[in-house]
Structure 1
């Protein structure tokens, strides 16, 4: 982080140097609506095997392409930094969380000013840019005084939403409309609905002669689990059969739709339950009731979000821009076990068929739905089908730039830029192969690399590596590290080189509270500035 936090008119003028001539007002450039949800598992959506009723997201899926091997960083704000910059999160200053600025290059607690956001680039290329929802890219010490990292200071023309990563759906904080703090909410306020309403409002007021980029960042279904009572009650019945039956049903639907191989069998992950995964029938009636209530609430939260996405789609049709709009949908990480035993059993269903949870680099933590749909049906080459190409959240920015015919800048804030690690997924969307490459992961010392069908992974840096052959073991059940020690060493060396280059080291092992307290004592100034 440098003193050049605020994006001044000088900085914006420098961006104009790489703006593509003639983009403004050119309706041939597509509108792009990028939708991100929060803490939703791989199999929750109907179009990925779930029993949650998501007809509007399913509509996007059946008319577009679904990715079966799309990966994220495993955690909220790191994924958002990668999404906004097309770079691994540590390079963008967001290697951990927004809770504290550690004054280390990879761990500044907010998005770096060294690299442009997707909104800044598209704005310089003639796009009107809007954001509604969760930001989670500003260090918490700067919530009261803007420091250059707020959405409208990082390329968005209009913004409504909460800067932080958590809070109540009825009283989130801090909520901003552009740069104005909102502290009063109506009695019927519900955050998911407010995010939808703002997005729809932005579309309706959007100048018809400009291409539009909208980032719709839902908080749902992140904890706390909160939804209107009548919506929760409408979901309860389907969860009374318990997670064992539902998990098998999800898996069977995944096989039927071609998301996973027909010959695969449902894995029963035991390690995550200390070697003994409990059967539904082993729970007490009180535990079963708690799980049913939590799962029904979680489903209701997703369904309310889906209703809102339907409203956004309808707004583009009312505006007359639907046919020239591209929709992208994804989740920032897998479902979470935060909340204890019942929450873990819930996440075990949500992440079917994958192992582990949010914040870890196993498949359950880093695997997410990814859907890309053109409003114009003739452009959906893989309509209703899956792309099996390995891809990563760092690829979303370059994909959007290529769709918009926008070039990544050669310099930003008077600094030369090298190209992003992310690569455009347009070839995969058009049913072409992507070039082979390695993908890297790290969060809270959980580490992984995917390389040529192999995955090296560990839950934290004090534990040994596991070696997984993803071509035969996509659910990470069989550790082959002892059989192929040379492969382990080669992949570990690759991962270490990447970690050195991207400012991952040194590792920090302090628990959350101790970590925050330690760095605040070292650096009392937590404003995001030197």
Structure 2
């Protein structure tokens, strides 16, 4: 006969065993980290053709999945709204930018209550949530900030980009920690600081018995050109050979990597002869500073990935990396007396955008491929089959929200806080990682400031503001060089019909906005 003491010990051990199983089951869900960078061109990573040193991101791509034809929404605020909500930006309330003042709900300039963020959705499914970096989807009122839209903790700036050294001399970008304004010291650099707070969260602030969702939104490499001297020094001589040599070298590498067509030329360059550039050293230094900013990003992502390994959570943490739009054409220098790259510098890299976007045409805010295409890297050792997989099928920034829900085994709610939600426009791209082909008839749509596009299958209809429509077959002509609009009227009319129906359904207005 079992004694009372032994009996109670058995009961206690059984309870502890059940509890352990329960805790283990709770912690089986993967952690999810989404990393968004600002104004980075398609070819600015080593794994997409660059000479810039990005070993950590290249390693993530070689161990995980690289989506070579992932689409964003062509500019900061729209891309962020679509990423966070899984909806086209008009449905989320940010049809243009967060500074837009309009009575139209599609252009109100902050996330609306008919949308739910990834953080809000995952928080209701047992996740803890953290954000670091640039918000830029509503900053004027406190209730629009990240910690009122599902994030338990927030470090960064509710406003836009352009903040590197503190304080910014050119942009009003206060830094906050959970609503309290901070006063960083002279050593502060945003790329480092946003990472350091993310690492501190992972090490010290999270409940280690629960999964977490982290949104890390850097401002780099958006202008102004400001970087740390030790990073600039790595590239001082690299770009003195000029635009064309670098662009051709990137394209050659892309062909070797298998992400550019071996039998097609790149799009036509926009720059002239390097020998006609008046101050070559100054022009080369612009790109050197830009490269330093990308290099610093990679260093910090390396620190983040090392932290995951140190915490023994790297195997079951999903990390996604992408850019909010293509490279930016801005070419001014408002501080010609300042040293390029310093905290006193308010300059952009101008013509080099065409190198960053190799091999594509156009740039940020436009809907040709150079404005909307980004590499997306996905790293998840326990959840992805194969290593170094490349996926060339298209996917869209609205797909990130449903993909996160899919990974977390969570459902998109019909309503939230007594508000009926608009449906998702995106869909999970996890089937693509398992070799399941996407719906070939799926339509993708874009519009920003009158620039417009629609893609179905290999066909894409696109136009610049107030310009005629152009038609391309992206399978045969991925760099949009051979306009087929006159020879294929049926394809043009079918795509245009789809675009008009979509624009009407989502409240897309003519540009410039009248109300």
- The TM-score, its normalising length taken from structure 1, stands at 0.86
Q: Per-residue CA shift, 1:374-404, capped at 9, x if unaligned?
A: 133xx43241121011110000111111011
Q: Provide the residue aligned with 1:279 in structure 2.
A: 273
| Distance change (3 Å), C-alpha of 1:105 and 1:263 | same
Q: Does 1:59 align with 2:54?
A: no
Distance of 1:103 and 1:391 partners within structure 2:
32
Separation in 2, partners of 1:472, 1:179: 51
* Partners of 1:104 and 1:229 in 2: CA distance: 46
Deviations 1:393-428 (A, max 9, x none): 000111111011111111123233353110100011
- Pick from 497, 500, 511 the counterpart of residue 508 of structure 1: 511
> Does the residue aligned with 2:107 lie in a helix, a strand or coil?
coil
Distance 1:43 1:343 in 2: 15
SS at match of 1:114: coil
Q: Distance in 2 between matches of 1:317 and 1:121?
A: 27
Could you report, residue by residue, the CA deviation over 1:157-210 in whole angstroms, capped at 9, with x for unpaired residues?
Answer: 11100111133311251211111122x220111111110111101111222100
Q: Tell me the residue number matched to 1:197.
A: 196
Which residue of structure 1 aligns with residue 40 of structure 2?
40
Computing the radius of gyration from Cα coordinates, the structure with the larger value is 2
Instruction: Kindly state the Cα deviation for residue 240 of structure 1 after the two structures are TM-superposed.
Output: 1.5
Give the secondary-structure state (helix, strand or coil) at the position aligned to 1:98: coil
Aligned to 1:232: 232
Equivalent position of 2:12 in the other structure: none
State whether residues 23 and 209 of structure 2, in contact with CA within 8 Å, keep that contact through their aligned partners in structure 1: no
Deviation at 1:63, TM superposition (A): 0.3
RMSD: 1.7
Q: CA deviation at 1:105?
A: 1.8
Q: Which whole-Å CA distance do the structure 1 matches of 2:478 and 2:37 have between them?
A: 24
Match of 1:355 in 2: 361
Q: Is the 8 A contact 1:382 1:430 kept in 2?
A: no
Equivalent of residue 446 in structure 1, options 447, 451, 455: 451
Deviation at 1:23, TM superposition (A): 9.4
* Rounded Cα–Cα distance in structure 1 between residues aligned with 2:273 and 2:76: 30
Q: Distance in 2 between matches of 1:24 and 1:108?
A: 44
The Cα offsets for residues 75-111 of structure 1, whole Å up to 9 and x where unpaired, read as: 0010000000000011111111111331212111111
Structure 1: runs of 5+ lacking an equivalent: 1-21, 520-530
1:486 and 2:490 are equivalent in the alignment? yes
Cα offsets for 1:13-45 (capped at 9, x unmatched): xxxxxxxxx899711100111111000000000
- In the TM superposition, 1:101-500 aligns within 5 A as 101-139=101-139, 142=140, 145-146=141-142, 148-170=143-165, 171-172=167-168, 173-182=173-182, 184-205=183-204, 206-269=206-269, 273=270, 277-284=271-278, 286=279, 288-340=280-332, 343-376=349-382, 379-436=383-440, 437-460=442-465, 462-500=466-504
Instruction: Give distance in 2, aligned partners of 1:385 and 1:122.
Output: 27
SS of alignment partner, residue 97 of structure 1? coil
Gaps of 5+ in 2: 1-21, 334-347
C-alpha distance in 2 between matches for 1:435 and 1:242: 42
Secondary structure of residue in 2 paired with 1:368: strand
